[in-house]
Every structure is written in C-alpha cells, then in structure tokens.
A and B are shown apart, each in its own frame.
Chain A
C-alpha cells in the first residue's frame, strides 16, 4: 500500500511536459460535447455460471459527456479533483457489474443470441446428505444491484495509459470493496491502432460471498460456499481503424481469468470470461 501512495505522490509532481491531448484523438474528448458512437457487428461475452446465459453483443454503445470537471463515460459518473497532461484524480460512481452474470437485462442488452439449455446440474453424494456440487444460477436467490463509489487515478504517457480504481459499495448490498489496476499500450498497425491492455482486479471476500457464495438462506440441498477474496487478471487486445470521420472498423478480444475463490463456488462453471466483438462503429456525435 505504501508503494501505491509513493507512486501517487511521485506522479502528482510530474512535470506538465507538453503531451497534447490532440496527439491521440481516441483518448480525447471535447469539453461539454456529448459523444455517442454505436457499433454494429457480432460479439459475445461468455458467462461462467452454471446455466448462465452468455451475453450477445450485436449493438455496442460508446458514450461520454465531459465538462471541465464532471464526466459521465460509459456508465461511470465522475468528478475530477485534479488533472493535467500526465495525471488525473477523480471521484467516481457506477453500478457494480457483478450482477450482469446473473441477470442478462442488467447490462442493458435485450437481444438474445443464444441461451444455454436448462440442464439440471450433476449431483454428488457427500456422505450423510445429498447436495448439488454444481448450482444453477436459476436456483439461487436474486443478487443485489450494488452501487460502487470510489477514487480513480489515471496516468497518461505518449503511447500508454494506466488507471487505478478503488471502489466501495455505498448502498450496503455487499458491504465490501473492489479495486483494479490497468495498463494499456497503443501501437499503429495496418493503418489503424492496435492496443494491448492488462488489468488486475481484486474483489473482497464480502463481494464474492454476496454474488458467488451459497449461504444458509439458499435452498437446503445446494452445496454451501463462503466466498473468499479474489484476484482476477485480464488481458485485452483490440484493433480499430478509422475509415471515414464517422465510420470505424472495430474489433477486440478480452480474457478474464477467474481464480479459485471464484471457481470453488458451486455456481461457477468456467475459470474464465471471454469477450469478443467484430464490427463497424458509427459516430453520431
């Protein structure tokens, strides 16, 4: 934790060397100008839960509105406490995305690409009592809609960006925290821009327990699980190429690895979440 504080302090004192925002148009927005792009194509986000529906991505929005201090960007509401060419510190708020695995409409998509069949999970004999080693998402209680608030720190380089987030549940739905540290690098490739991002997520035991735990208040025959804190590394690669001022080719692939704290849950079938998309985006504003 000490090193994080030092890193933060060092970057606060970074020089304001000219790193003009216009050098990388994709990461810059005009102040007080609503920005909306919509991508049409094919894509999907897998669902690691038993009987969890994968998430079809045929229409993908990208929207933002920034003032000098306030911003809303793809579901994150924020207020920048300080910002310069190299660094920004903001207070942020958003809906926690964990519920999206349990309820498809939660993430805003209404189109169904495919759905897994409702096959009952296998049963195992655990000795004196019979319990389900795999628990269908359909058999557990609804998971809560949590609102997270926290701090976000952004660092900007010539061809890279880094972001650190600390989140706290503020409506007492899981009464825990989560955090993430990401680093992204950009390269010109085939007339477009290739990007590589790595992110490490940390989710507190209370978060994992709320969403992936199976407690005594669930059906008696389900296998119990007390959630533990989880570390989840993610890699994302993407490529996009502007064809005109409004049309852009867009593709990306994201691989999120789920550790034992997740896969030990009887609700979780897979040890990864994979997301991909190929399409064309149109910029309206």
Chain B
C-alpha cells in the first residue's frame, strides 16, 4: 500500500508491504522520498517493524549507524525522525551478518542534471 505524506517541502511515499527472509519479516517506511531538488536532504519519520517465528538477537542499522538492538524477542518496532542526503539503506543484522536490507531512495521533482563535458561556445 502506498500512502502520501507531507514533511516540510517533501513528498513521502510509504511502502508498507512486508519483506521476508525465512522466518524473519519486516517492513520499512517510507521506502521512497521525493525532494524538491536533487541536492535537498530527505527528512522523514523512518519506521521499521519486524516479526519472527522464533526469538532473535537483532540490530538495526541506518547507513553505518547502529540505531537499536533487540535481545531474544520475536518482534520489534523502531521509529525516528531522520534526515539523509541521498540513496542510503537500513539493515537488520545478527552478529554482523546482514539478514534483511532495504534501500531508501531519494527522488527529485527537479530533473537531474549532469556535467557538461565539452566547453560551451566551442563550435569555432
């Protein structure tokens, strides 16, 4: 299910459908963030929830930062207001082993620009 939220000048698109690996399932929202310009940060309340059929020892990472760990539980929830500049990822890890990974994508309403490789006004 996709929902639309406004956060400052950004349009957030939430993706709630759970993703699973074996007995472990999680959902991360929002999965996409649409910013006004390509160089604008994405700011959103990032939510993660997971469930498992057995008790788990898990840690949640946002980019390279450890956000929360759980010990011997079958489910967990976490949310926090975060700001990130571009494509990044969240991960659920057990003992430094990545069990689930989700890429958070920042899209821009303004068309992406690329470097011009030839000098302007260089026809002659």
Contacts and interface: CB of A to CB of B under 8 A. Distances in A.
Interface of A: 18, 20-22, 26-31, 33, 39, 45, 55, 57, 60-62, 64, 66, 68, 71, 73-76, 78, 80, 83, 88, 90, 100, 107-109, 152, 154, 156, 163, 182, 184, 197, 238, 250, 252, 275, 277
A83 B118 CA distance: 14
Contacts of B37: 22
A62 B121 contact: yes
A231 B115 CA distance: 29
Contact of B120 (A74, A109, A182): A74
A74 B38 contact: no
B122 interface: yes
Across chains A and B, which 8 residue pairs bring their CB atoms closest together, nearest first? Answer: A73-B118, A28-B113, A20-B39, A21-B113, A30-B111, A74-B123, A76-B118, A74-B122
Interface of B: 37-39, 85, 111-124
B114 A31 contact: yes
Contacts of A60: 121, 123-124
B33 to A, nearest CB: 17
Nearest to A35: B116
B38 A57 contact: no
B35 to A, nearest CB: 12
A20 B37 CA distance: 11
A88 B118 CA distance: 11
A61 B123 contact: yes
Contacts of A277: 121
B39 A29 contact: no
